[in-house]
Amino acid sequence: MNKISDDISKDLKDQPKFTTDIGEKDQDHHSFDLGEQTTLKKIQHFLHGNPTIVPVIILILSVIAFGFIAGGKFFSAFNLSLIVQQVTIVGILAAAQTLIILTAGIDLSVAAMMVLASVFMGKLSVEMGIPTLPAILVGMISGVATGAFNGLLVTRLRLPPFIVTLGTWNIFFALVIFFTGSQSIRSSDIEVNAPLLHFWGERINLGGFVFTYGAFLMIGIFIFLWFLLNRTAWGRHVYAIGDDKEAAELSGIRTDRMLVSIYAVAGFVVAIGAWVSIGRVGSVSPTSFYEGNLDSITAVVIGGTSLFGGRGTIIGSLFGALIVGVFSSGLSIAGLDVLWQRFALGCLIIVAVGIDQWIRKVSN
Amino acid sequence: MDKEGVKLMDPVLVAKKLSKKYGKVVALDNADLELYPGEVLGVIGDNGAGKSTLIKALCGAVIPDSGEIQLDGNKVSFTSPIEARKLGIETVYQNLALSPALSITDNMFLGREIRQKGFMGKILKFLDQKAMAEEARKRLSDLGLLTIQNINQLVETLSGGQRQGVAVARATSFGTKVVIMDEPTAALGVKESRRVLELIGEVRSRGIPIILISHNMPHVFEVADRIHVHRLGTRLCVIDPKKYEMSDAVAFMTGAKEPPQN
């Protein structure tokens, strides 16, 4: 036998022993880990498996806290239902945003998309005399198209979603100004020419609790998306793409096509939000909801969805939006300046992302 | 399984004169490969021998410049792993291609979900989670992997060997004709490697032939029925692990020794 191969064969005979050593070390390490299961670790694991728990706890605690700070006024049926009304639009935007963030993306253009869709609805029905339903349909198409446009840019040009939507945010906003000439469509004109646009703003009183139809629609959207995400293959693929895009591709998921469809569905949800927003605000204003993009991201992040994708729940975003609403309402009833509301919100975001990072460490 | 008995059957998968160049680098040079029913074919080769290009050509990740691939005697061609998979060539990748944040069931059926019957499934596209969980449990217990307690456990809570088990169970679940396993024991400790080698035997005993790519000679020699030695972009020889020593295989691989004529 050749001398070189002799040497190599000696090496080979040594190899199994070598790996045995590593194996034993591995096991030691493992049992060490199990022995050190502290309460904190258990909490970490529990939160990891139940990502919605954190926003639920924060929501409950903040309601209790503001109950003490702001007193009975905060707990009045009117105020509690007002909070729900106030978070309707951001809630719907957050629902759309959740879909995008679950894929490890981000959409800075949602609010601009929404205003653009509402401009189409208002412009066509109020100023061009087109029947309201077709005008709403055009607005819906605009939402789906702008969403799909984002998706196409992300998948075809392989640009990061942050950059794509930073660009389209400006583009959509410019289109809004172009179509409206910076003029609002007045509430009174809408009431006369296209009252259907105000439909979701109508209120019903349930024993002191005043809800808009739009608030129910928002809840409906969340339930619908929950089923979509958890009970259909499409939804499972949203998580799979956000978790590990390459693995999803190798599992046979057409990830590019899926991403475009996810952005389009988000656009559709945003367009529903456009209709609701007209009812909520009354008028169609080109400069409204300028902070809606960031507010929706805030709600999603506070709701426990990871910015790294693949982890989080749609219902969490609803809680996230409600937490923001509770903070704003509670702090203003307590008589604090608006600046402290923003201060508190900023702290909340950082805490939420910090908790997420900590929880994610479990998987390593 | 004895070598002569194997050879009497027609091969399941044949690669004929596959060539692939990357610029001036010849990765595959008229490479051949045959895989017979019910066997484990080990594929070994030094780094840069073109073994991974060969495997990628077989699983659809690389399109060869020339040559042909036959499956069950029919010429096939595919442009992606997904197309290869549809024809029954499943690959267990080294990184396993699992989604850690999804459950075992979700992973096993990813891209091939079972929908509910009737209106709920056809119109609303609802998944039949019960059927999928049952099927997943059955697949895993068929492979002797019932140590996994909860089928809806997230994959990230599993050990490396258990994940390998899930990936193998997935690869053998859908009318599979051939399983390609790329370095299945590379990231595992001794105990878990042992379990995966048993798993390979389990898959073979169910009649599914396996191509096993590995750098770990003892593992290849333990489970392979025949060993394909790849060198300089082509098949150098096929050896019977019972008739040769590991050192011989290494010598062939590195060119230190002339291969047998077969």
| Domain residue ranges in chain B | 3-98+176-254
Is A42 a member of any domain? no
What does DSSP say about strands B25-35 and B13-22: parallel, antiparallel, or unpaired?
antiparallel
What is the sign of the dihedral through the CA atoms of A33, A39, A40 and A41? positive
Is A34 a member of any domain? no
Contact A15 B217 (CB under 8 A): yes
Strand-pair partners of A281: none
Q: So what's the pLDDT on residue B2?
A: 46
Determine the Cα–Cα distance for residues A188 and A364; give it in Å rounded to an integer.
58
Separation of CA A289 from chain center: 16
Task: For residue A312, list chain B residues with Cβ-Cβ distance below 8 A.
Answer: none
B78 contacts: CB under 8 Å, gap ≥ 6: B60, B84, B87
Determine the Cα–Cα distance for residues A186 and A177; give it in Å rounded to an integer.
16
Residue B173 and residue B108 in contact, taking contact as beta carbons nearer than 8 Å: yes
Count other C-beta atoms under 10 Å from residue B200's C-beta.
21
Determine the Cα–Cα distance for residues B243 and B239; give it in Å rounded to an integer.
8
Residue A93 binned pLDDT confidence (cut-offs 50, 70, 90): very high
Is A17 a member of any domain? no
Structural domain containing residue A206 = 53-363
Count other C-beta atoms under 10 Å from residue B175's C-beta.
9
Residue A9 binned pLDDT confidence (cut-offs 50, 70, 90): very low
**In a 3-state reduction of DSSP, which class is residue A120?**
helix
Q: In the CATH hierarchy, which fold is given to the domain comprising B3-98+176-254?
A: Rossmann fold (3.40.50)
> Is the model's pLDDT at A362 over the cut of 90?
no
Chain A, window 36-75: residues with a beta carbon less than 8 angstroms from a chain B beta carbon = 49
Nearest by CB to residue A232, choosing from B101, B127, B257, is B127
Task: Kindly report the CATH number assigned to the domain that includes residue A313.
Answer: 1.10.3470
Query: What is the per-residue pLDDT across B233-254, written as a single tens digit (0 to 9) for each?
Result: 899 999 999 999 898 898 998 8
Alpha helices in B22-96 (DSSP H): 51-59, 81-86
- A100 token code pair: 């995008």
User: Taking phi first (over 0 means left), then psi (-120 to 50 degrees means alpha), and beta for anything else, what does residue B31 get?
Assistant: beta
Task: For residue A12, list chain B residues with Cβ-Cβ distance below 8 A.
Answer: 217-218, 246-247, 250
Query: What residue has token string 């591709």?
Result: A249
ipTM above 0.90, yes or no: no
Computed over every residue of chain B, the mean pLDDT equals 86
Residue A122 and residue A186 in contact, taking contact as beta carbons nearer than 8 Å: no
> What number is the average pLDDT over the span A115-140?
94
How does DSSP classify residue B148?
Answer: -
Interface membership of A251 toward B (CB under 8 Å) = yes
Residue A174 and residue A185 in contact, taking contact as beta carbons nearer than 8 Å: no
Computed over every residue of chain A, the mean pLDDT equals 86
- HSE at residue B103, side-chain half, CA atoms within 13 A, is 16
Is A37 a member of any domain? no
Task: For residue A2, list chain B residues with Cβ-Cβ distance below 8 A.
Answer: 251, 256-257
Count other C-beta atoms under 10 Å from residue A37's C-beta.
10
Contact B101 A239 (CB under 8 A): yes
Phi, psi torsion values for A283, nearest 5 degrees: -105, 175
Determine the Cα–Cα distance for residues A103 and A237; give it in Å rounded to an integer.
9
Residue type, A212: T
State how far the alpha carbon of B75 is from the alpha carbons of A84, B67, B72, B87, B152, in Å: 63, 11, 8, 11, 40
Percent of residues, chain B, with pLDDT higher than 70:
95
> Is the model's pLDDT at A89 over the cut of 90?
yes
Q: How many domains does chain A have?
A: 1
pLDDT-wise least confident of A9-23, A331-345, B119-133, B228-242: A9-23
Query: What is the per-residue pLDDT across A156-179, written as a single tens digit (0 to 9) for each?
Result: 999 999 999 999 999 999 999 999
Phi, psi torsion values for A295, nearest 5 degrees: -60, -40
Is A216 a member of any domain? yes
Q: How close B241 gets to chain A, by Cα (Å)? A: 15
What is the sign of the dihedral through the CA atoms of B105, B109, B114 and B115? positive
